[in-house]
Structures are given as C-alpha cells and as structure tokens.
Chains A and B, each alone.
Chain A
Amino acid sequence: MAVVLRRENIATPRRSSLVERNVWPWILQRITGVVLVVLMAIHIIVNHFGNLDKVGKTINGVNHTDLIMFNDVAYRLGMAFWWVIDVALLAFVLFHGFNGIRNIALDMGLTDRAEKAVTAVLTVVGVIGFGFGIAALIAFRKY
C-alpha cells in the first residue's frame, strides 16, 4: 500500500522556501541598484573627476595642494543636499553590496543554519560599516 505524504500530515511547519523568503531582498536589490546607478554617477563625477581641475588652485578658500582636501569635503558637507546624497549612497551601497554577497552565498546551497549565520554576520558588518561611515561624515562638521 502506497503511503501518500501530505503537507498537513507533517507535524513541524515547513519553513518558507528560499524563493518565498527572499522576495523582498530580491526587489530591494533591484531598486537600490537602479538608484545607485544615479548616485554613483553623481559621486564619481563630482568627487573624483570634479576634483581634477582644482589641483593647485584656491577655491572657496581651500588651497588644493592635493586632489582631495579635508576642508573641501567639509565645505561640501556644509550643504544639506550633499548630506542627503552621501547618507543615501552609504546606506544603499552597503545594502546592495552585502545583499549581493549573501546572494552568492545562498547560491552555493546552504543549510538553514548556515544561511542564518551568513545573514547575521553580513548584517552586523553592514551596520558597523554604516555607523563608521556616518561617524566619518559627522567628523567633517567639527571644523
């Protein structure tokens, strides 16, 4: 006699599938990705390419002996717009980066325990990175 095993016959509730419980990370990875394309373009063009012309000049009272100067960053962070851009960039890039690493780990085929451990470690490292990044931004306001 064949035994038909039904879901309702199993005593312990089934854990949601890998796909089911990763719908939000999947959607957020795409949303942060699209936003990051815009934020990274602003960041790289202004903070990296934008400084190339400043070397050797004095702009906004800052003498640019080097490419990137503390006082120049402090001047920029005196504007609310740049705070919004930088904090958003920090939060989005940390989520996107660590969720991406988590996706690679999940694709290796993990046990439930290993998956929880990976998620916990990456979350902790991401939150520490965010705290340190915010502390770095606040430091520019002391001068």
Chain B
Amino acid sequence: MARVTAKRLPSVQYSHFRGRAIGVGTAAWILHRISGILLTIYLMMHIVVIGQSVRSKEAFDAALHFVQKPPFVVLDCALAGTVAYHALNGLRLISFDLGWGIRAQKLLFGISLILAVATFVVSLVAARSLL
C-alpha cells in the first residue's frame, strides 16, 4: 500500500455529464461558467482599451470612437445581458449556499434567464441611436 490518497482528483466537469441528461441545474451551471469565462476575457480587453489613456488623450478618444461602431454596440448589449445572467444566477447560487430557495431552483433559473434576455433587449432599445 504505497499510496494513501489519489494524486489527481476526478474532473467535476466530466462527472457532471457522465450518462445523464442535462437538467436545469446543470444547464445553469454550464451557462454560469461560460459567461464567467467570457466576462473575464472581456475584462482583459476592457482594461487594454481603457488603458489607452496611458498613451495619450488622443489615443483614448480614438480607441473609444472605434468601439462605438454598431457591431460593438450590439456586443455591448449582449455583454449587459451576460453580466445580468451571471449576477442573477450568482445570487441564486449564494441563496442556495445559505439554504434559501433550493426547491424553487428551476423557477429562479428561469427568472434569471428571462431578466438577462430582457436586459439585452432593453439595452438595444436604449442604445438604438448608435445602431
């Protein structure tokens, strides 16, 4: 008996899908992770764009003039929706950690998703002058 503990733990990502249909909880979990990765990638790009201020005032204004073109505005609205989903689902997860609302988990996921899509649509309407 050389080894007491296994060196490598099993993958949580893998065990979630093994032989099972994807339920509401898993769907929420996948979307939370994907949105989290996308938001972190966006965060780095955001710091680089805003960081143009280090070069010069003109460089900053030029960079922000470029990213107000319609394709970027649509992406920004999608970003607002992604943030809304991640925030609402995050609050849903914290409420479960506190033991609240676990029985309403499917309803709470539905509300998070609907409000996120609503945020995207409202953002598009609000920013219509730039489209």
Contacts and interface: CB of A to CB of B under 8 A. Distances in A.
A52 B7 contact: no
B130 interface: yes
Interface in A94-143: 94, 97-98, 100-101, 104, 107-112, 129, 132-133, 135-136, 139-140, 143
A33 interface: yes
Interface of A: prevailing SS: helix
B12 A136 contact: no
B75 interface: no
Contacts of B130: 52, 55, 67
Interface string B39-66: 1100110010011011001001100110
A36 interface: yes
A100 B68 CA distance: 29
Give the interface residue-count category, chain A.
35 or more
Nearest to A90: B47
Interface stretch (B19-27, B89-97, B100-108): B89-97
Interface of B: 1, 4-5, 7-13, 33, 36-37, 39-40, 43-44, 47, 50-51, 53-54, 57, 60-61, 64-65, 68, 76, 80, 83, 87, 90-91, 94, 97, 123, 126-127, 129-130
Given A52-B129, A132-B54, 8 more contacts: A3-B1, A14-B4, A37-B87, A97-B39, A104-B37, A108-B11, A129-B47, A133-B50
